[in-house]
A and B are shown apart, each in its own frame.
Chain A
């Protein structure tokens, strides 16, 4: 196995008494798309900022291609393409002017810069809007331009910080297509998000962080297996939030791996839906609960996160 393009060792960053990142370690292989998944405030952006050299870690190491970043002007930064969570664009400049500026920061020759600008605009599907000011773009188009601005210096590793925040489903799909196109070109991608479905669609591997710590680091398939191969999820919405006194008794039923109650929503992980469904419904009827909705699914990252942390992913 070749050496990883990115290696993070025991990274730590504190703000006063708060440890925003607390001993985070993981690697990203060349050509891989790694999802950095966690709820808001889990430490994803802080981790990314340290990777890009924007923040100095209190301790730990970031190795890019086996070497640590040495200061602001280290040419190693050319290996990185940062796509900030914010729309980091000049609204009063055209798309082309924005790209020309960000490209010039990497001292690209004029001819190279123009070629890269054309490529980047083509990848994100904005070639025909190059001369339009960014302020005239829709939110999705701005997101795509935000992505294009990180491609001009042809970085090996793209650091995408929640690149689909605030965009409509159609634009989100367009961004996914762009990212998949970049993967096809051999780019390595570190993708932070708190959307499970994005990681499931785009990434080979996922690092789950919570409260600044890594709580899982594996392929999606392995994480699913850890949550239980062949298992099922059952979600039952009750007419009203119960006191929950019967919850321990419910967990004792055969074939129930876990049971969590959040308000009126009862989430269960089962060995076998066919075998367990009937006893569960019977149990609830005995406890005078009224079911208003019921659904089942195979385990996904959401349920894995729930299993690992005991909390829903979008809880903060």
Chain B
């Protein structure tokens, strides 16, 4: 036992003694995690999305387009600016905005009349930065909602609506190209609309009542047939819950990444010790190989745990990250990550011949673990096949476990599987190291 403790004490002393490296290994993950945390939503409810930048040109300037623009400007998902067409096109070219929309002349009238008439429809020009396709798709969806709402409101309200219905009936009389049956059915519909709008106009009370509704009655036009209640996932109230905190994920990811980076150093450190003859001296003592490896693994685990503890403490104090789930589960995940990092260090040492030859491979393994584990970006962004593959990556389980214990606020049971996977990976790496370590190499 005394030699084991001596190895641990010595490693801790060397770790703490290297002040510059110590500060760097703590400061860098904290700085990067803070940055990533702010990118991925920060503290929910405290930070607002800045909205997708969009520039709009209204060449129509009709009642309908003005209504559409009013709604768009009020939409928090968008950060809209009204500009002349040339300026909008230039902004797209220069990458100053994600999307530009140009409403052509007579857009309002043409869109309304096209509602019930087959044939040419007005073209809405949507320009977008090719590097920002996701934002373009999002803007198109939001635009559709606002345009449909404004146009349908125009059709199904008051005099304007009746006029449109009557015009459409006249066009049917002139010939629509529809079959007699379809022509008859559409005529019936338009006649009923005209009659209904005439009743609405005659009955102010009904119109007023309908106007107060959620947009589904007369005068309200079309609107989404449902309301979205934007409610964040919350843990049971009795657990003293908080909301999603982007820093929880980023500190989990970066903390784990830097602990794994330290694992590379531990592995290479063993190879360096071998080069410097220290391993010969250690092996000359009456110690089992297991004691030597266990000593290194124990000290590495303690260093990893303390690194994670400091990172988490910082995130809790500064960014109000909370452990909304089980504290025991949270500890188990941290312990699993730490033991896994420690055994990964031994694995690297067992795999490599020299530090120089091993470094590249070790960094590649680390990047794969971190990237596929979802430490940089959440794993749900990955393609489906890749998400399936990451089930075999211990770091993916670690990230899921961290999310479960922090902002998701799940109980201990949600930590058991991730912890079990991490401990199994630890055992596997440790077994490999013990079997394959080049004990007789000088």
Contacts and interface: CB of A to CB of B under 8 A. Distances in A.
Interface stretch (B10-18, B186-194, B238-246): B10-18
B278 interface: yes
Nearest to B290: A72
B295 to A, nearest CB: 10
Top 5 nearest A-B pairs by Cβ distance?
A86-B277, A104-B6, A84-B277, A105-B285, A88-B277
A223 interface: no
A92 B285 contact: no
Given A72-B288, A77-B284, A93 B277 contact: no
Contacts of A101: 6, 9-10
A132 interface: no
Interface in B1-36: 2-3, 5-7, 9-10, 13-14, 17-18
Interface in B262-295: 275-278, 280-289
A198 B82 CA distance: 92
A77 B440 contact: no
Interface in A94-111: 97, 100-102, 104-107
A104 B7 CA distance: 9
A53 to B, nearest CB: 7
A87 B6 CA distance: 20
A298 to B, nearest CB: 37
A80 B288 CA distance: 16
A106 B285 CA distance: 6
Given A77-B285, A104-B2, A93 B13 contact: yes
Given A92-B14, A93-B10, A93-B14, A72 B286 contact: yes
A73 interface: yes
A227 to B, nearest CB: 34
Contacts of B440: 49, 54-56
A106 B442 contact: no
Interface string A44-85: 010001001111100000000000000011111110101011
Contacts of A104: 2-3, 5-6
Given A73-B288, A87-B276, A92-B17, 12 more contacts: A49-B280, A54-B283, A54-B440, A72-B286, A73-B286, A74-B286, A80-B284, A86-B278, A86-B280, A88-B281, A92-B18, A93-B17
A73 B13 CA distance: 26
A88 B10 CA distance: 14
Contact of A52 (B6, B18, B284, B287): B284
A149 interface: yes
Most buried by B among A73, A82, A101, A107: A101
A90 interface: yes
Interface residues of A, number: 35
Interface of B: 2-3, 5-7, 9-10, 13-14, 17-18, 275-278, 280-289, 440, 442
B286 A78 contact: yes
B10 A82 contact: no
A108 to B, nearest CB: 8
A74 B275 CA distance: 25
25 contacts: A49-B280, A52-B280, A54-B280, A55-B440, A72-B283, A80-B284, A82-B280, A82-B284, A84-B281, A85-B277, A86-B275, A86-B276, A88-B276, A88-B280, A88-B281, A90-B278, A92-B17, A93-B13, A93-B17, A101-B10, A105-B3, A105-B7, A105-B285, A106-B285, A150-B281
A187 to B, nearest CB: 16
Contacts of A92: 14, 17-18
Nearest to B17: A92
B2 A82 contact: no
Nearest to A159: B284
Interface of A: 45, 49, 52-56, 72-78, 80, 82, 84-90, 92-93, 97, 100-102, 104-107, 149-150
A88 B13 contact: no
A49 B274 CA distance: 14
Given A93-B10, A93-B13, A84 B286 contact: no
B424 to A, nearest CB: 28
Most buried by A among B9, B277, B284: B284
B288 A149 contact: no
B278 A82 contact: no
A73 B2 CA distance: 14
A195 to B, nearest CB: 19
A15 to B, nearest CB: 10
A49 B440 CA distance: 9
A105 B277 contact: no
A84 B3 CA distance: 20
B281 A149 contact: yes
B315 to A, nearest CB: 30
Nearest to A153: B285
A258 B109 CA distance: 119
B281 A97 contact: no
A84 B285 contact: no
Contacts of A72: 283, 286-289
Contact of A53 (B13, B18, B283): B283
B278 A105 contact: no
B2 A107 contact: yes
Contacts of B278: 86, 88-90
A77 B281 contact: no
Most buried by B among A54, A100, A105: A105
Contacts of B283: 52-54, 72
A72 B284 CA distance: 8
B284 A90 contact: no
B287 A105 contact: yes
A54 B283 CA distance: 6
A105 B17 contact: no
A1 B13 CA distance: 49
Contacts of B10: 90, 93, 97, 101
Contacts of A102: 281, 285
A77 B286 contact: yes
